Amino acid sequence: MSDKFKRTLITAALPYANGGVHIGHLAGVYVPSDIYARYLRLRHRDVLFICGSDEHGVPVTIRARKEGCSVQEVVDRYHKLIKDSFEGFGISFDIYSRTTSATHRKVASDFFRTLYDKGEFVEKTNEQYYDEEAHTFLADRYIMGECPHCGNPDAYGDQCERCGKDLSPTELINPRSTVSGAKPVLRETTHWYLPLDKHQQWLEPWIESHPEWRSNVSGQCKSWFDMGLKPRAVSRDLDWGIPVPVEGAEGKVLYVWFDAPIGYISNTKELLPDNWETWWKSPDTRLIHFIGKDNIVFHCIVFPAMLKAEGSYILPDNVPANEFLNLEDNKISTSRNWAVWLHEYLVDFPGKQDVLRYVLTANAPETKDNNFTWADFQARNNNELVAVYGNFVNRALQLTQKYYEGRVPTCGELTETDRATIEEFRGVKTEVERLIEAFRFRDAQKEAMNLARIGNKYLADAEPWKVIKTDPDRVKTILYLSLQLVANLSIAFEPFLPFSSARLREMIAMPSADWERLGSIDLLEPGTQLPKPELLFEKIEDEAIQHQLDKLENIRKENEKANHKA
């Protein structure tokens, strides 16, 4: 991190409160941002990690209508489900709030009003579908009709879910309102727009001034610039959302894309009512947005334009956006329930949060779309966490228990092999730091796992179980160094696998993880009594994996049946 920054503000994309959180969300946004936040805290950096539920927009109103309950009931239920899921996986937000909070309503309203008073919006009148029976303008998702591309009779006004084509409501054949079933009519309505075209002249060189950003981020922005930025509406005709704070704007609310990113600001203010502005307006704050690739335009073009138009806010220093994660070679889909839901995983695999964190990081879609399979999940657990990391820890602890009644032995004279091993694992700290600070979490975790490989090789080559018969003093040194390596593993994996790192520290009677001492060979004092050894990781059996595959097969059959009926 550059010396010009005194603090780091990390934001994670606000999950939408009309459903649970799945492995695609976890892999794309929340595990990488959590690794980064935990790492910075270990380095004693001043850091805030901000998130919350996005609770406005059309999909939550559609779900409420389907379920026959109020919209507030829908967002309350899913806010709790999402928050509990994140807590279950150890995602260490400093605050997890929501966009229906009183603080957010005021901050978002004031933000809009500031831009409005500065003349930063343009007002436009255009035609939109109106339901004469329900007396309401219809959002795109409240209009259905026949897709002009594939003939699907139930295509939405913004997209056909059968062929995947993006649509506008006026393209639909025989459109109908999903509110009343009536045929909608076109009526004029007035809205406010953020003139992104006006901001392109500074946005383009600003993004070009960040060559360190991921190529998928700069590449997608370049595509938008090449097409030419267009004004984007900041208001909608809806009854759910934050009312537009302008006289004569009754029945209009802030468009969710405008309202949601302001949630980062309002959540910070809710957490730190007296000094939130230091985190958002001081040039020595580093702002980092963790997002998925579908949010690049909002966080690299739209939100920066909003912040610049307001005039007093800092701009993001980096936006590490991930690509998508597929599930068993198919795109994850909430509407088709083709997903692994976090709240279900916590029930199916109790105590194994770190296994999923490990697998998702090892398979992170950092540069291209990647694929999650249950076979790979099982293999990485059994062949890496159990057979490499867990095996080394278990062997070192069991041998200490066997030969020294669980007490850390003293260190004797070091051999050339000992010194070479020490040098090798001392280099891991610098490399892990370099990779994390470059947002290369997959490679950083691989480097941490390299410590366990070094340990396994050291034990295998040293053969203390043989040497004990001829040179028991030498075995003391071998196990002393092996235990120091185990202690180093508990520090190196702390950002990645917080649950098992904490458990490992309990197993070696080590009170805390001091990152600055990573690479040291005196983390455990000779004579320290270690508890009775336990397994750090357990093998995952075929039956558990088959259960997950059967679940997916049932979902696939249900989707086929639904498509057949459609």
Helix H or strand E segment including 280 = helix 276-281
* Of 249, 205, 207, 201, nearest in space to 228 by CA: 201
Residue 561 pLDDT grade (very low, low, confident, very high; cuts 50, 70, 90): confident
By residue count, the chain amounts to 566
Residue 58 pLDDT grade (very low, low, confident, very high; cuts 50, 70, 90): confident
- Report domain extents, the chain: 7-120+257-342, 123-190, 374-517
CA distance 498 to 1: 23
| SS3 sequence of 358-427 | HHHHHCCCCCCCEEECHHHHHHHHHHHHHHHHHHHHHHHHHHHHHHHCCECCCCCCCCHHHHHHHHHHHH
Q: What CATH number labels 374-517? A: 1.10.730.10
Residue 435 has pLDDT above 90, yes or no: yes
pLDDT for 159 equals 85
Q: pLDDT of 207-247, one tens digit each?
A: 999 999 999 999 999 999 999 999 999 999 988 999 999 99
Instruction: Note the maximum CA span of the chain.
Output: 94
Q: pLDDT of 24-40, one tens digit each?
A: 999 999 999 999 999 99
Three-state SS at 179: coil
Residue 4 pLDDT grade (very low, low, confident, very high; cuts 50, 70, 90): confident
CA distances from 212 to 128, 314, 439 (A): 42, 18, 10
pLDDT for 413 equals 95
| The two three-digit tokens of residue 484, written as one number | 């120091």
Nearest 10 degrees: Cα torsion 14, 17, 21, 22: -100
Q: pLDDT of 530-541, one tens digit each?
A: 999 999 999 999
Overall average pLDDT of the 394-414 stretch? 97
CA distances from 244 to 109, 189, 309 (A): 7, 14, 18
Overall average pLDDT of the 353-376 stretch? 98
Nearest 10 degrees: Cα torsion 172, 175, 179, 185: 110
Residue 250 has pLDDT above 60, yes or no: yes
The residues, ordered by sequence, that sit 6+ positions from 409 with a Cβ below 8 Å of its Cβ are: 400, 403, 475, 476, 477, 479, 480, 526
CA 242, 247, 248 angle in degrees (round to 5)? 90
CA distance 425 to 482: 11
Nearest 10 degrees: Cα torsion 261, 265, 271, 276: 160
Residue 2 pLDDT grade (very low, low, confident, very high; cuts 50, 70, 90): low
Beta strands in 105-184 (DSSP E): 122-131, 136-137, 143-146, 155-156, 173-177
Residue 566 has pLDDT above 60, yes or no: no
Q: What is the mean pLDDT of the chain?
A: 95
Residue 161 has pLDDT above 90, yes or no: no
Residues 37, 221 contacting (CB under 8 angstroms): no
Q: How many CB atoms lie within 10 A of CB 303?
A: 24
Q: What CATH number labels 7-120+257-342? A: 3.40.50.620
Task: Phi first, then psi: give them for residue 31, nearest 5 degrees.
Answer: -70, -50
Residue 403 has pLDDT above 60, yes or no: yes
Residues 162, 147 contacting (CB under 8 angstroms): yes
Helix H or strand E segment including 458 = helix 441-462
Using CB atoms within 10 A of its CB, is residue 471 exposed (0-12), middle (13-18) or buried (19+)? middle
pLDDT for 65 equals 86
pLDDT for 80 equals 98
Overall average pLDDT of the 93-119 stretch? 98
Q: How many CB atoms lie within 10 A of CB 480?
A: 23
Helix, strand and coil in the chain, % to nearest 5: 50, 15, 35
Bridge partners (DSSP) of residue 95 are: 50
Please, how many CA atoms are within 13 Å of residue 113, restricted to the half-sphere of its CB? 12
Q: pLDDT of 299-334, one tens digit each?
A: 999 999 999 999 999 999 999 999 999 999 999 998
Q: Structure pTM?
A: 0.94
Residue 3 pLDDT grade (very low, low, confident, very high; cuts 50, 70, 90): confident
Q: pLDDT of 255-307, one tens digit each?
A: 999 999 999 999 999 999 999 999 999 999 999 999 999 999 999 999 999 99
Residue 488: what residue type?
N
Domain 123-190 of CATH type 1.20.58.100: no
% of the chain residues with pLDDT over 90: 90
Q: Are strands 7-12 and 46-53 parallel, antiparallel or unpaired?
A: parallel
pLDDT for 530 equals 97
Residue 380 has pLDDT above 90, yes or no: yes
**Given its phi and psi angles, is residue 41 left (phi above 0), alpha (psi -120 to 50 degrees) or beta?**
alpha
Residue 490 has pLDDT above 60, yes or no: yes
Higher pLDDT, 248 or 566: 248
CA distance 214 to 291: 12
Using CB atoms within 10 A of its CB, is residue 477 exposed (0-12), middle (13-18) or buried (19+)? buried
CA distances from 380 to 354, 396, 488 (A): 12, 22, 21
Residue 197 has pLDDT above 60, yes or no: yes
Residue 379 pLDDT grade (very low, low, confident, very high; cuts 50, 70, 90): very high
pLDDT for 122 equals 97
Overall average pLDDT of the 9-16 stretch? 98
Residue 1 pLDDT grade (very low, low, confident, very high; cuts 50, 70, 90): low
